[in-house]
Amino acid sequence: MNSQEDQPTLEQQIQEKRNIGDSFYENREYLKALEAYDETLAMNPDNAAVRNDKGRVHYMRNEYQDALKCFRQALETDSTPERVKRYHYNIGCTLEMILQYEEALQAYNQALLIHPLYEKAVYRKMLLLTLDLKRDEELVQFCNEVLSLDSGNEEALTEKAIALTRLRRYDEAIRAYDEALKHYPQSKSKRYSSTYVLHNKNMLLRAMQGK
């Protein structure tokens, strides 16, 4: 006969059930993942991390309103900065999918208030300002904010150079490209390459010479 000490605690049961949900999620068995997360939440309705997990499943199923509900509920029951920034980020990504770009920008800004160099939020905000909102002046300002904290951030330098080119501030753009190229030999960036940056710079130089 097992002693009471051999019985798993409620916390252990919750973690075990969450792990099952995570496994289903990783295998893209989303309905089973939702079921496991719901069972976990039945044991602890205020578990914000699991609520966030459930939101990610809804996001992958294109159920964006349900995803938003989960992410916002997670925010209501958790104050841990490292997790809260992820909830804001997830809200931003979801709002982008339903074309609520201004609200998405606010969500990324909330994440960046907690961690100004939060890489995922930095990049998504850059893309949002570039592709959807098309606000190049604001993008340049944001890149400068990032660079004030990380002067060698090659992605901020590259995005800044591209925005400056669109703004026809060509000399500033060339300087930004040159600064970016200084960092690419050591860069681990998967979003840009030195070849891409050099190509953009050379195209701009040729355009300036043709004037």
Instruction: List the Cα angle 196/201/206 in 5-degree steps.
Output: 125
Q: Which of 4-13, 75-84, 92-101, 127-136 is the least confident region?
A: 4-13
Residue 124: closest CA among 144, 139, 137, 145: 139
Q: What is the mean pLDDT of the chain?
A: 91
pTM across the whole model: 0.88
154 versus 89: the higher-pLDDT residue is 89
Distance CA 94, CA 36 (A): 22
- Asked whether residue 180 carries a pLDDT value surpassing 50, the answer given is yes
Distance CA 57, CA 29 (A): 9
**Mean pLDDT, residues 79-95:** 97
Residue 4: pLDDT band (50, 70, 90) is low
